[in-house]
Amino acid sequence: MKTLSGIPASRGICIGPVFQFVRQELVVAECKIDNTQKEIERLDEALNVAKEQISAIYEKALTEASKADAEIFQAHLMILEDPELLSEAKKKIETEHCSADFAMKETAQAFSNMMAAMNDEYFAARATDIMDVGNRVLRILLGVAESPTASLVTPSIFVADDLTPSDTVLLDKTMVVGFCTARGSATSHTAILARGLGIPAVAGAGEEVLDKKTGANVILDGTKGQGGLRPT
């Protein structure tokens, strides 16, 4: 079968079965609500829970990676306190009478799109961070658990469209021997964290990587100049 080449993101070679990670879609319906104050309170409560979760991830990153890598999550905490983003979300609730879920999803997406449109690697990373934080708040509001490796029972090579920085830190290293993403770059926060955690990784391998079936044995080579995913 054809070798799938991508961008070397984190050094190392590993062998194992593919595990295709499909992120649970966060479905948020647009609906009109009467009690806008209650929705703002729901949002504030979710933001507080998100801060607690990110603080815990920061401590995990400090232990398993490095202080420099962990600083990514200090930036996530700053996003949660961004007065412009929060003001826009709450304004949306008040003026459009929408739910906290819908307001957060729309606002985070708008801010992320604005960063991504700048066509710069630094701002692309910021766009990913905003969506990572926004989706965390959404999961809390919707009661959706966060555990990217919950269904893994065999040490595997994690394959996904893309991974967020939070996904990467929360990967169970006893179950994930390496990962390959269809999108991403060597300078993304996800790649930086993979290197800090010592997980071999290839990014930007294209949509073909998503055709690899769960259970198929592959070799993943994340070393510089050897990026790719191929069958054993």
Q: What's the pLDDT tens digit per position in 183-209?
A: 988 888 899 999 999 999 999 988 988
94: Cα separation from own chain's centroid: 29
- Taking alpha carbons only, the member of 193, 143, 131 closest to residue 165 is 193
**pLDDT tens digits, 133-176:** 999 999 999 998 777 777 788 999 999 999 989 999 988 889 99
CA distance to 27, 48, 88, 208, per residue, from 45 (Å): 20, 5, 17, 41
CA distance to 96, 103, 132, 138, per residue, from 33 (Å): 9, 12, 26, 17
If pLDDT is split at 50, 70 and 90, which confidence band does 75 have? very high
Structure tokens at 95: 């003026």
CA–CA gap between residue 76 and residue 173 (Å, rounded)? 23
Higher-pLDDT residue of 89 and 30 is 89
Position of tokens 């071999």?
200
Beta bridge partners of 13: 221
Count of alpha carbons within 13 angstroms of residue 95, beta-carbon side: 6
Note the pLDDT of residue 228.
54
If pLDDT is split at 50, 70 and 90, which confidence band does 224 have? low
Higher-pLDDT residue of 27 and 13 is 13
**pLDDT value at 69 more than 50:** yes
Position of tokens 């806008």?
36
